[in-house]
Amino acid sequence: MRGSSAKILIVTSRRLEEAIKKNLEIPEGYEVEVWGLPVDVVALLTPESLKRLLLLESQKRDKQLNEFDYVIVSGMIPGDLSPLSEEFDTKVVKGTKTINDFYIMMKNFDKVKDLLSPSRPIDEVLEEFKLDEFVSVLNNLSYEPVLEVGSLKIPLNPPPSFLAAEVLDNEDLEAQLSRASEVADMVIIGSTSTSPNPSKVPGLLKLAEKYFDTIGFDSMFPSEHLAAKEADLILSLDKGKMEKLVPIKDKVFVLVPGDSKANYWPLNYEEKVRSIRDNLEEAKKLGFDKLILDPILSPFPYTLDSLMALREMKKLGRPTMVGLSNFVELVDADSHGVTFALLAMAFEAGANLVMVTEHSNKCKGNWYEAKIALSMLTVAKVKSTLPKDLGLNLLVLKEKRLRREKLEKENLRKAKDYKPKLEPSVVRIWVEGDKVYAKCKRGKEVVTYEGHPYLIGKSLVMEGWVKEPSHALYLGWELHKAYMASKLEKSYVQERELECDHPREKWKSVKERMERGRKLEGKGRP
- The reply to whether 101 falls in a domain is yes
Q: How far apart are CA 307 and CA 322, in angstroms?
A: 9
Each residue of 449-490: pLDDT tens digit? Answer: 999 999 999 999 999 999 999 999 999 999 999 999 999 888
Residues 6+ positions from 414 with CB-CB distance below 8 Å: none
| Structural domain span for residue 196 | 156-383
**H or E element at residue 459:** helix 453-462
**Do 316 and 371 fall into the same domain?**
yes
Each residue of 434-450: pLDDT tens digit? Answer: 899 999 999 999 999 99
- The answer to whether 374 and 347 have CB atoms below 8 angstroms apart is yes
- The reply to whether 478 falls in a domain is yes
Confidence (pTM): 0.79
Q: How far apart are CA 177 and CA 170, in angstroms?
A: 11
In this predicted structure, what is the pLDDT of residue 3?
41
**Do 200 and 93 fall into the same domain?**
no
Each residue of 376-385: pLDDT tens digit? Answer: 999 999 988 8
Q: How far apart are CA 406 and CA 423, in angstroms?
A: 37
Strand 426-432 relative to strand 215-218, pairing: unpaired
Alpha helices in 62-184 (DSSP H): 82-88, 99-107, 109-112, 123-139, 173-181
- The reply to whether 395 falls in a domain is no
**Do 132 and 165 fall into the same domain?**
no
**Do 222 and 368 fall into the same domain?**
yes
| CA geometry: angle 431, 436, 439, nearest 5 deg | 90
**Do 229 and 310 fall into the same domain?**
yes
Each residue of 273-318: pLDDT tens digit? Answer: 999 999 999 999 999 999 999 999 999 999 999 999 999 999 999 9
Each residue of 12-45: pLDDT tens digit? Answer: 999 888 888 888 888 888 999 999 999 988 888 9
Mapped onto helix, strand or coil, the DSSP state of residue 300 is: coil
Phi-psi label, residue 150: left if phi above 0, alpha if psi -120 to 50, beta otherwise: left
Mapped onto helix, strand or coil, the DSSP state of residue 24 is: coil
Mapped onto helix, strand or coil, the DSSP state of residue 31 is: strand
- The reply to whether 388 falls in a domain is no
- What mean pLDDT, rounded, does the chain reach? 91
User: Is pLDDT at 9 greater than 70 in this prediction?
Assistant: yes
Chosen domain end from 83, 108, 139: 139
In this predicted structure, what is the pLDDT of residue 415?
84
Residue % of the chain over a pLDDT of 90: 70
Please name every residue paired with 8 in a beta bridge, in sequence order, or none if there are none.
Answer: 32, 70
Range in 112-116, 122-126, 439-443 the model is least confident about: 122-126
Q: Single out the residue of 231, 117, 113 nearest to residue 169, CA to CA.
A: 231
Q: Single out the residue of 209, 163, 213, 217 nearest to residue 190, CA to CA.
A: 217
* Count of structural domains, the chain: 3
Each residue of 325-334: pLDDT tens digit? Answer: 999 999 999 9
**Do 366 and 481 fall into the same domain?**
no
- The reply to whether 398 falls in a domain is no
- The answer to whether 171 and 200 have CB atoms below 8 angstroms apart is no
- The answer to whether 169 and 411 have CB atoms below 8 angstroms apart is no
- The reply to whether 390 falls in a domain is no
Q: Which amino acid, 178?
A: S
Please name every residue paired with 13 in a beta bridge, in sequence order, or none if there are none.
Answer: 37
Three-state SS sequence of 319-350: CEEEECHHHHCCCCCCHHHHHHHHHHHHHHCC
- The reply to whether 393 falls in a domain is no
Q: How far apart are CA 19 and CA 38, in angstroms?
A: 15
pLDDT band at 525 (very low <50, low <70, confident <90, very high): low
Q: Which amino acid, 435?
A: K
Chosen domain end from 74, 105, 139: 139
Could you write out the DSSP letters of every residue in 251-272? SEEEE-SSBTTTTB---SHHHH
Furthest C-alpha separation in the chain = 88
Mapped onto helix, strand or coil, the DSSP state of residue 42 is: helix
pLDDT band at 523 (very low <50, low <70, confident <90, very high): low
pLDDT band at 422 (very low <50, low <70, confident <90, very high): confident
Alpha-carbon distance values, 237 to 168, 230, 261, 262 (Å): 19, 17, 12, 14
**Do 132 and 168 fall into the same domain?**
no
The answer to whether the bond into 236 is cis (omega within 30° of 0) is yes
- The reply to whether 402 falls in a domain is no
In this predicted structure, what is the pLDDT of residue 205?
96
**Do 290 and 350 fall into the same domain?**
yes
Each residue of 398-419: pLDDT tens digit? Answer: 888 777 777 778 888 888 888 8
Residue % of the chain over a pLDDT of 70: 98
Q: How far apart are CA 313 and CA 256, in angstroms?
A: 11
In this predicted structure, what is the pLDDT of residue 524?
55
Please name every residue paired with 447 in a beta bridge, in sequence order, or none if there are none.
Answer: 440
Q: How far apart are CA 304 and CA 315, in angstroms?
A: 18
**Do 253 and 337 fall into the same domain?**
yes
User: Is pLDDT at 2 greater than 80 in this prediction?
Assistant: no
**Do 164 and 133 fall into the same domain?**
no
Distance of CA 50 to the CA centre of its chain: 38
Span 205-223, average pLDDT: 96
Chosen domain end from 359, 383, 407: 383
Length of the chain in terms of residues written: 526
What CATH code is carried by the domain that includes residue 104? 3.40.50
- The answer to whether 220 and 197 have CB atoms below 8 angstroms apart is no
**Do 161 and 135 fall into the same domain?**
no
What CATH code is carried by the domain that includes residue 247? 3.20.20.20
Span 174-199, average pLDDT: 94
Alpha-carbon distance values, 276 to 256, 290, 320 (Å): 6, 15, 12
- For residues 454, 459, 460 and 466, what is the CA-based torsion angle, rounded to 10 degrees? 110
